[in-house]
Amino acid sequence: MRTPSIYSQDDPLSEALKPPESETELERRARLEQEAEAKRVSEQIDEELRQERESLKRKRGDVKLLLLGQAESGKSTLQRQFQLMYKPHSLEQERASWRTVIYFNVVRSIKHILSTLESWDDYIDDDAAFDSPTSKYLGGPRSGTSSPVIMNPTLENSGAHSRSGSPFQGNAAAASRSTIGSLRRRLSPLVTADAALADRLSGGITVSGSGKGGVFVRSGWQARTIENALGRKRGRISEEPGLKKPDDIQDALVQDVSHMLDVSKDDIRELWAHPTVKGLIARRRLKLDEWSEFFLRHITRVAASNYIPSTDDILHARIQTMGVAEHVFDVNIHGKSVSWHLFDVGGARGQRHTWVPYFDDANAIIFVAPVSAFDQEDPRTNRIDDSLQLFTQICSSPLLKNAHLVLFLNKTDLLRSKLDSGLRVQKYITSFGERSNDYETIVQYFRAHFLQVHRRNNENRRVLYTHFTSVVDTKATQRIIGNVRDSIFRGYLQSAALV
């Protein structure tokens, strides 16, 4: 008689799936082993999902905190600061998966630099470089993009350019083209890894309307990135004594990219330091995101074959959030441990519809607005203006009217460096007028606009707590988190739940 297997005798589907009569003893044993393994993996997934559901279940007395704000404002980075403060071991477990994100950030940056160079024919001549984009291409501020809220942003040339301003190209041009051409050839295998890395992180899910073609990840992507790399080995990782822990597991793709980075690090450094690249950046013809600049500045360390992301690297890494990710922390206050459920939302326009179901019974909101974004658009609205519109919606939402409201005016470090490099707010936000272009005047000006939005939408007379932040700065952010925690608890203790 055949050894019992998962194929039931009565089920018609099982009947159809029955092994062939001609099955040999060897094949039968292999099949049974496979079935047992599949069953074990499936049970383990069920158990993990059950445990996850259990741990996420919100109890009476738990705090529900929402992190809201536009894309790239710093919500997930702030979430990582909460994680660092209240659940540091979980960040440790994720360290390996951040390597994939950071490699992806680096490869994307190189790809972006090379394609921008290509559109400039690998050279920028000084005349073209010094032309003001607005005067040359737009003839002044573009109309038709005025702000529905407060500001009246002007737009900068969004990238269209012509090479006709370079009437002669001498030795400098030829040398630039030759060097960049060779670098492009040598770096092409690395750049080709972009798609595979994106696929590894997103699990093959693409999101339409994702602006810069970014990669989105859902809650729990860190573990899945490792699973995606391991395929069927999933589930055995931590159980069997002989098998490696997730950190030790060698993802072939990541290993390949690591190797390519190691052998290309001098080329990447050369590209990053090339006068044409520096010229394009200085003239704002090549715009790099803050994380690109951060990892390129640290390329020698990041491209080393034994690279392990530091906590600072993890805070600077960029991956877009898809939907809403819930994180639970136990927060101790006055000797009492309370579970905080922190909801980190995707801020891209196409993701905002997913927020509303989470508004119900929220205790607190941290709204994150990047003040450094005054010179950016999303996609045709000035980003500060977009933040103000979003903040208007949050302040006026009846579902959120009882939630404690905190505003983080974030990325103040980047604002300072933009001002140091000579950027003028008035150029992008005409209503800023002739005010002084110094840090203090600017942050107070933005703060006043947010306060005004709050005042106009404040039937409940609730307080708005504002903080100037740079959430990549761990020490300062943890102090502010402590502050926010205390203020949330003060309000919260008054509600009957805890007293």
Ligand X SMILES: Nc1nc2c(ncn2[C@@H]2O[C@H](COP(=O)(O)OP(=O)(O)OP(=O)(O)O)[C@@H](O)[C@H]2O)c(=O)[nH]1
Q: How many other C-beta atoms can be found within 10 angstroms of the C-beta atom of residue 158?
A: 14
Spell out the residues 6+ positions from residue 307 whose beta carbon is closer than 8 angstroms to its own: 99, 258, 301
Query: Looking at 143-151, 312-320, 380-388, 482-490, which segment touches ligand X (CB under 6 A)?
Result: 312-320
Among 327, 362, 401, 363, residue whose Cα is nearest residue 487 = 363
Is 430 a known ligand-binding residue? no
The answer to whether residues 281 and 288 touch, using CB atoms and an 8 Å cutoff, is: yes
Q: Is 76 in the site for Mg ion (CB under 5 A)?
A: yes
Residue 313 half-sphere exposure toward CB, CA atoms < 13 A: 25
Of 32, 249, 282, 414, the one binding ligand X (CB under 6 A) is 414
Of 109, 276, 292, 321, the one binding Mg ion (CB under 5 A) is 321
In the complex, minimum distance from the CB of residue 184 to ligand X, in angstroms, rounded to a whole number: 26
Query: Looking at 36-44, 202-210, 431-439, 464-472, which segment touches ligand X (CB under 6 A)?
Result: 464-472
Of 285, 316, 404, 467, the one binding ligand X (CB under 6 A) is 316
80-83: long-range contacts (C-beta < 8 A, 24 or more apart)?
A: 80/314, 80/315, 81/315, 81/471, 81/474, 81/477, 81/478, 81/481, 82/327, 82/329, 82/340, 82/342, 82/481, 83/327, 83/329
**Alpha carbon 14 to chain centroid distance?**
45
Q: Cα(164)–Cα(483) distance, rounded to whole angstroms?
A: 56
Query: Looking at 16-24, 50-58, 313-321, 390-398, which segment touches ligand X (CB under 6 A)?
Result: 313-321
Q: Is 76 in the site for ligand X (CB under 6 A)?
A: yes
Is 410 a known ligand-binding residue? yes
Of 321 and 363, the one with the shorter C-beta distance to Mg ion is 321
Is 316 a known ligand-binding residue? yes
Q: Cα(205)–Cα(215) distance, rounded to whole angstroms?
A: 9
Q: Which residues ranging from 176 to 205 are in contact with ligand X (CB under 6 A)?
A: none
Query: Looking at 57-65, 220-228, 316-324, 419-427, which segment touches ligand X (CB under 6 A)?
Result: 316-324
To the nearest 10 degrees (0 to 180), the angle between helices 88-119 and 171-202 is 140
Q: Which residues ranging from 222 to 251 are in contact with ligand X (CB under 6 A)?
A: none
In the complex, minimum distance from the CB of residue 354 to Mg ion, in angstroms, rounded to a whole number: 12
Of 153, 246, 309, 346, the one binding ligand X (CB under 6 A) is 346
Q: Is 321 in the site for ligand X (CB under 6 A)?
A: yes
Q: What are phi and psi of 2, to 5 degrees?
A: -65, 140
Binding site for ligand X (CB under 6 A): 69, 71-77, 290-291, 315-316, 318, 320-321, 346-348, 410-411, 413-414, 470-472
- Residue positions forming the annotated binding site for Mg(2+): 321
